[in-house]
Chains A and B, each alone.
Chain A
Amino acid sequence: MMRYQSLLNFTFLLFVTAHLWAKPIVICESCEIKSISEGIDRAIDFDTLIVKKGTYKEFNILVDKPLTLIGEGYPIIDGEKKGEIMRIVSDGVTIDGFFIINVGTSYTTDYAAIRVVKSENFLIQNVVLEKLFFGIYLEKSNYGKVYHNKIIGDAKDEYNSGNGIQLWYSHHVEVSNNIVQGARDGIYLEFSDNITIDNNKSTNNLRYGLHFMFSDDDVYTNNLFENNGAGVAVMFSKGIIMKGNTFRKNWGTASFGVLLKEINDAEISNNTFEENTIGINIEGSNRINYKGNNFINNGWGIKVLGACYANAFTGNNFLYNSFDISYDSKLNDNVFDGNYWSGYTGYDLDKNGIGDVPYRPVKLFSYIVNKTPEAIVLLRSLFMDIIDFSEKVSPVFTPDNLLDINPLMTKVQ
């Protein structure tokens, strides 16, 4: 409350200095102005609208002036499933503190709770969305901020559900401290460059926690992606930086912590991949630095499919994954150096903290499981250990240059 108060004061101050004559327009059930649309009609540029606690059954609210809309005590805007609820078509709009429910569902139109179209310098914060189709939809809108919102969907099927936060041809946007759950994709980016995605929690979404397509030079940091249908997909993009994120419990067929498909020149560091079916699934991605990540208890730590060149894996921890690394071919052009592998059984006679025997992270068994998936039930059997051992001694099926020459004796902290 205090924060809203001070924010209010701050906005107030702004208005006092800039437009000394302006008073905030108050909207409530017993006020002169009873609906938000009416309030916007009456407002002039740079006005502040204060919406009091109550339920407002409105949809297609068009914000076409630079206004600040502030909800007091979380007023409810109920769209009654009739269509889109709020559309912003002006620069410099702030939406703060609303509880928006019942967005209409359609197979032809992507109805959103809040849609920003071709606008700049927007701020959407402290908004709670429920019973939605699409949540916050940014369309060709730049230099904005989506901050501290909570989006709770109840998506059951992919075909009739929408994404929590969607960016389409939008650049230089900051998406941070949001909570998104139960949508189709938690956060979806398409053709959106220079985006910062920080400290969000995207959980229990039907498809991806985060979905990137054709979006370059984006940074995402300190996010949590948990229990999403298929994890996080990063496709056809370059110059991505992923740091300090956590990917957990993305379980299922073809499910993964992160899917990298056609990604070049990225940096993936200090992330934690825990209990995913596949930690990172890499397809056709080149020149990526993997550094200081933790791969813990995944089915596959890293699964490399197809041609991936000049990737470097250094200083990562691979802990108790069923398979640390899996390759589907005999070719290897990637470097593994100075990682910690819990499966390493070598020794360190010269006590320099580096194992004296190289470690081969790719097991023959992972190759067999790629060919005959049912063989997974033989995991950890003595027979498999024996053939893995013989493969380790003389590699026939797995890339023979794939080894970590400097395996660490203790975990990277």
Chain B
Amino acid sequence: MLKILKYSFYDLIRSRWSYVYFLFYLLLGFVLLFLNNDVSKAIITLMNVIIILVPLISTIFGIMYFYNSKEFTELLLAQPIKRSSIFLGQYLGVAGSLTLSLVLGLGIPFVLYGLFKSDAIFDFSLLLVTGAFLTLIFTVLAFNIALSNENKIKGFGYAVLLWLFMAVIYDGLFLMSLIIFKEYPLDAFSLSATMFNPIDLSRTLILLKLDISALLGYTGAVFKKFFGTDQGLFVSMLMLILWTVLPIWRLVYVSKKKDF
């Protein structure tokens, strides 16, 4: 598996898109920090970027890579390599190079700015960790879509739809159900609804850092326990890990049964 990972990774490192992605983050980091001179503001803007753009780019990149490397995959399938190794290797190659672009692209400007001396270091690391998780999650979701759809156009369509759903539509439906059922106690519902969308989940993690004062203003006991203690952090992290592991498991499972 490591060999496949290595080849996918090198393949991607040399592709133009990794650089574009990397340079985009680098530029964003520099612009936010050096034109603004305000780390707190930069972190809020970055949060918006991370929870929207990272899933979008990971989804599109993942699905493109999968379809474009069809030949590579077929070449590998005839070689004495385990199927799961082939797909996991490719997946980790893509997710790894995307994560690296993100972490380096944002990390470099922040380090140059003197982040290690600033209090924002924890917020910033949390942002990068969530960004990395979102990359892992949305890349593997894209791989799953691609694996189940031979038709590229269809696959691509589903992938974009997935992003749109997770980023916007889900929250719209969520809010509607909150408003419709507002006579009922909803705090357990709203927390669990958050858990079923990795974007919301990451957002919650960030809210725990940035907006804890507002979150503690709500009366519900479940809320209080979730946001007022370390429970929220643990549960959200756990769910993010589940969101990563389960689709990877499906990827391996489906790839084993698939004909090429």
Do A and B touch directly, given a CB cutoff of 8 Å in the complex? yes
* Residue A334 at the chain B interface, CB threshold 8 Å: no
Contact yes or no, A320 B210, CB < 8 A: yes
B207 at the interface (CB under 8 A from A): yes
Indicate whether B204 reaches chain A with its CB closer than 8 angstroms.
yes
Decide if B194 is an interface residue (CB 8 Å cutoff): yes
**Which of B61-69, B92-100, B165-173, B249-257 touches A?**
B165-173
Q: Is A384 an interface residue (CB 8 A)?
A: yes
From A251, A255, A300, A384, B171 is in contact (CB under 8 Å) with A384
Partner of B48, one of A254, A255, A368, A380: A380
B44 within 8 A of A: yes
B205-248 Cβ-contact flags toward A at 8 Å (1 or 0):
01100111111111110011000000000000000000000000
B214:A382 contact, CB within 8 angstroms: no
Given contacts A297-B213, A373-B218, contact A381 B41 (CB under 8 A): no
Is A378 on the interface with B (CB-CB < 8 A)? yes
A residues less than 8 Å from B167 (CB atoms): 382
Closest to B213 in A: A299
Greatest chain B CB density within 10 A among A253, A319, A323, A373 is at A373
- How many A residues, CB 8 Å from partner? 35
Cα distance, A302 to B216, chains bound together (Å): 16
In the complex the two chains form, what is the Cα distance from A384 to B207 in whole Å? 14
Complex CA distance for A342 and B37, rounded to whole angstroms: 13
The answer to whether B218 and A374 have CB atoms under 8 Å apart is yes
Is A382 a contact partner of B52 (Cβ separation < 8 A)? Answer: yes
Partner of B217, one of A275, A299, A381: A299
Partner of A377, one of B48, B51, B194, B217: B194
- From B171, B187, B206, B217, give the contact of A277 (CB < 8 A): B217
- Given A380-B207, A383-B172, CB of A320 within 8 Å of CB of B214: no
Count of inter-chain pairs, beta carbons less than 8 A: 119
In the complex, the answer to whether B175 meets A375 with C-beta atoms within 8 Å is yes
- Assess whether A252 is in contact with B40, with CB atoms less than 8 Å apart: no
Q: Known contacts A368-B175, A386-B168; decide if A379 and B211 are in contact (CB<8 Å).
A: yes
Whether A105 is near chain B, meaning CB under 8 Å from some CB there, is no
Residue of B nearest to A298 (CB): B213
Tell me the residues in window 338-395 of chain A with beta carbons closer than 8 Å to chain B beta carbons: 342, 368, 371-386
Interchain CB contact under 8 A, A380 and B206: yes
CA distance A89 to B51 in the complex (A): 67
Q: Which residues of chain B have C-beta atoms less than 8 A from A252's C-beta?
A: 216-217
- Pick the contact of B214: A322, A368, A385 (CB < 8 A): A322
Chain A residues within 8 Å of B47, by CB: 380
Nearest B residue to A322 via CB reads B214
A277, A373, A380, A385: the one contacting B213 at CB < 8 Å is A277
Residues of chain A within 8 A of B213, CB atoms compared:
251, 275-277, 297-299, 322
Which B residues are CB-close (under 8 A) to A323?
214
In the complex where A320-B40, A374-B186, A374-B187 touch, is A382 in contact with B171 (Cβ < 8 A)?
A: yes
Contact partner, A381, options B38, B203, B219, Cβ 8 Å: B203
Kindly state whether residue B191 has any CB partner on chain A within 8 Å: yes
Pick the contact of A299: B168, B189, B211, B223 (CB < 8 A): B211
Most chain B C-beta atoms within 10 Å of own C-beta, residue among A276, A298, A377 = A377
User: Which bucket holds chain B's interface residue count?
Assistant: 35 or more
**What is the minimal beta-carbon distance from A221 to any residue of chain B, in angstroms?**
25
Determine the chain A residues whose CB is within 8 A of the CB of B194 once the complex forms: 377
CB distance from A372 to the nearest CB of B (A): 5
Any B CB within 8 A of the CB of A402: no
B216 and A299 form a contact (CB under 8 A): yes
Measured between beta carbons, the chain A residues less than 8 angstroms from B168 are 382-383, 386
- Which B177-193 residues have a C-beta within 8 angstroms of A? 178-179, 182, 186-187, 189-191, 193
Which B residues lie within 8 Å of A253 (CB)? Answer: 216-219, 224
In the complex, the answer to whether A320 meets B44 with C-beta atoms within 8 Å is: yes
Cβ–Cβ contact A381 & B171, under 8 A: yes
- Contacts of A380 on B, CB cut-off 8 Å? 47-48, 51, 203, 206-207, 210-211
CB of B187 to closest CB in A, whole Å: 6
Flag whether A278 is at the interface (Cβ < 8 A): yes
Q: Please give, as numbers and ranges, the residues of chain A lying within 8 Å of B174 by CB-CB distance.
A: 378
In chain A, residues 220-279, which have Cβ atoms closer than 8 Å to a Cβ of chain B?
251-255, 275-278
- Enumerate chain A residues within 8 angstroms of B212, measured Cβ to Cβ: 251
Contact yes or no, B207 A379, CB < 8 A: yes
In the bound complex, residues from chain B placing their C-beta under 8 Å from that of A381 are 51, 171, 199-200, 203
B175 touches A378 (CB 8 A): yes
What does the 1/0 interface line of B38-58 toward A look like (CB < 8 Å)? 101100100110011000000
CB pair B178 A372 closer than 8 Å: yes
Please, how many angstroms separate the alpha-carbon atoms of A359 and B51 in the complex?
A: 25
CA distance A298 to B175 in the complex (A): 23
Residues of the B chain whose Cβ atoms lie less than 8 Å from the Cβ of A297:
210, 213
Give the nearest-CB partner of B206 in chain A: A380
Query: Bound complex: CA of A320 vs CA of B178, how far in Å?
Result: 26
With both chains docked as a complex, state the minimum distance between the C-beta of B127 and any C-beta of chain A, in angstroms.
13
The answer on a CB contact under 8 Å between B190 and A374 is: yes
Q: Which of B47, B174, B175 has the most CB of A within 10 A?
A: B175
- A374–B224 alpha-carbon span in the complex (Å): 12
- Bound Cα distance A296, B218 (Å): 19
- Chain B residue nearest in CB terms to A383: B171
The residue among B51, B204, B216 with the most chain A CB atoms within 10 A of its own CB is B216
What are 5 inter-chain pairs, A to B, with CB distance below 8 A? A251-B216, A320-B44, A379-B211, A380-B206, A380-B211
New contact pairs (7) apart from A255-B217, A379-B207, A383-B169, CB-CB < 8 Å: A253-B217, A276-B213, A299-B211, A368-B175, A374-B187, A380-B51, A382-B168
Interface pairs A-B: 3 shortest CB-CB? A299-B214, A322-B214, A383-B171
